[in-house]
Homo-oligomer: A and B are copies of this chain.
Amino acid sequence: MTTDLQKTDRSRLRRSHNRGHFDRHTVNAILDAQPMCTVGYVIDGKPYVTPTLQWREGNTVYWHGSSASRALKNSRDAEVCLSVAILDGFVMARSGMHHSLNTRSVTLFGTARQVSHEEKEEKLCNFINHLFPGRSEILRPNSEQERKATMILALDIEEGSAKIRTGPPADDEEDYDLPIWAGVIPVTTTIGAPIDDPRNLDGLTAPDHVTGFKYGKN
């Protein structure tokens, strides 16, 4: 778990090298903090991207969908690029050029493999429990038909990088004398009060994994 990710021609940072990170601790923390991801794949030589949820187990990241999904069928056994991005703030400088974003992001490359039918049930339960600890155990069990209708893809976290920017703007030295307000507008993800399904049975209350829900595992 302490090894670095592969710094390859496609995973190394071309610019702002000082913002790049290849250690698993950093990469994993970002993956765990942001369940939303975007998966890029190629059909007939053309690019496609699909937003979806990802979850991590050890050194592997997973995502899932319908077995009939064009996105999944064309990502299976194919090269993919998986991106996770967290916007932490708008960085406002004294020139347009030095405006920036405070972000944490991860980009992973590799060949996606399909999780076997036999492994599906465990992975689907892990996914639910990753988001909502303990929820899988209280749900109506998955049916065999539902497992067949679901495809899960896996990508080993081997080739890729994290990129992080934090802190105030970095202006040209001579611009600091200008009477222009500069700083950061922070951005966060906020969870609202749970909304009961109008068809919930009388007397049901939201369990701890709902009332104590946290966005991301960090």
Q: How far is the CB of A156 from chain B (nearest CB, A)?
A: 16
- Say if the beta carbon of A17 comes within 8 Å of chain B: no
Are A45 and B45 in contact (CB-based, < 8 A)? yes
Proximity string of chain A (91-103) to chain B, C-beta cutoff 8 Å, 1 when within and 0 when not: 0101111010101
> Is A58 an interface residue, CB under 8 A from the partner?
no
Residues from 44 to 78 in A contacting B, C-beta threshold 8 Å: 45-51, 53, 66, 68-70
A189 contacts which chain B residues (CB < 8 A)? 187-190
Supposing A47-B79, A51-B83, A69-B14 touch, asked if A176 and B199 sit within 8 A by C-beta, the answer is yes
Docked complex Cα distance between A120 and B84 (Å): 29
Q: B105, B187, B197: which contacts A190 (Cβ < 8 A)? A: B187
A136 to B197, CA, bound (A): 46
Known: A101-B53, A128-B99, A168-B195. A210 touches B181 (CB 8 A): yes
Tell whether, in the assembled complex, residue A142 and residue B200 are in contact, meaning their CB atoms are under 8 Å apart: no
Q: Please tell me if the beta carbons of B215 and A187 are within 8 angstroms of each other in the complex.
A: yes
A51 to B37, CA, bound (A): 10
Known: A40-B47, A47-B40, A131-B90. A169 touches B197 (CB 8 A): yes
Nearest B residue to A99 via CB reads: B128
A135 to B, closest residue via Cβ: B92
Per-residue B-contact encoding for A202-215, CB less than 8 Å = 1, 0 else: 00111100100101
Q: Give the 3 A-B CB pairs with smallest separation, nearest first.
A: A186-B192, A40-B49, A51-B85
Can you list 15 residue pairs at the A/B interface with Cβ under 8 Å?
A10-B48, A14-B69, A38-B38, A47-B81, A50-B83, A51-B85, A95-B139, A99-B128, A168-B195, A178-B201, A181-B210, A183-B196, A183-B197, A184-B195, A187-B189
